[in-house]
Amino acid sequence: MEGLFITVEGPDGAGKTSVINELIPRLKKIATKNIVTTREPGGSPIAEKIRGLVLDKKNTDMDQRTEALLYAASRRQHLVEIIEPALVSGTTVVCDRFVDSSLAYQGAGRKIGMKEVAQLNLFATNGRTPDLTLYLDVDAETGLSRIQNHRSMEVNRLDVESLEFHQRVRHGYIQLLEQYPQRIKKIDAKADLDHVVEDCLQVIQKYVGDKL
């Protein structure tokens, strides 16, 4: 049987990386199948090179559609090299960001349009969709202040965008949540880390616990 495909999404400063770092060891304790974690943009050597390009703060002239295409290209390579083989072998894949990020950031944040970006990504993914998406919700002000206050967090080309941009991104996520209530589950990411991790575990157990 194919492995489970779980994605973790959220605006910048939602704390995805810390949550995933805490979540995975706990998930491994209760899972019967292997689990791999990976991330986007990146996750494979070629895709990581595209990550470097697309997040480089020096690339101030990058066109918005170029940006959307680069995320989709990185995703395609990562999917073919890492995600699909793992799922086919029955491994559970936990991926830090996937198509929803492009819909929220490029579709809503950059105002390209969520439908347009969805079409572009359909070509990249051939329709591969996560079984479950944990959406870590945080308002744009809190997210941005977390990034500014934690120097250890990587500050990239999108982090330095305006508050309005990040508000549009969050709004995009909320729209997706309303559109796909079966797949996307909202977690309050303003709570402390232990709480957020606990909520994520409960959601996973409730919705896909039997397939772990």
Does the protein bind ligand TMP through residue 102 (CB under 6 A)? Answer: yes
> 195 to each of 14, 18, 133, 204, how far by Cα in Å?
13, 12, 18, 14
**Which pair of structure tokens corresponds to residue 177?**
């949540």
Does the protein bind ligand TMP through residue 175 (CB under 6 A)? Answer: no
Does the protein bind ligand TMP through residue 13 (CB under 6 A)? Answer: no
Does the protein bind ligand TMP through residue 135 (CB under 6 A)? Answer: no
Does the protein bind ligand TMP through residue 50 (CB under 6 A)? Answer: no
Q: Which of 190, 191, 193, 197 is nearest to 138 (CA)?
A: 190
Does the protein bind ligand TMP through residue 41 (CB under 6 A)? Answer: yes
How many residues of this chain bind ligand TMP (CB under 6 A)?
Answer: 14
**Which pair of structure tokens corresponds to residue 130?**
């996560």
> Least distance from C-beta 97 to ligand TMP, angstroms?
4
What ranges in the chain are assigned the alpha helix state H?
16-30, 45-55, 64-78, 84-88, 99-102, 114-125, 140-149, 163-179, 193-208
One residue of 4, 158, 197, 200 binding ligand TMP per CB under 6 A: 158
Contact between 134 and 74 under an 8 Å Cβ cutoff? The reply is: no
Q: Which stretch in 23-31, 100-108, 126-134, 190-198 sits in contact with ligand TMP by CB under 6 A?
A: 100-108
Binding site for ligand TMP (CB under 6 A): 12, 16, 40-41, 55, 71, 97, 101-102, 105-106, 156, 158-159
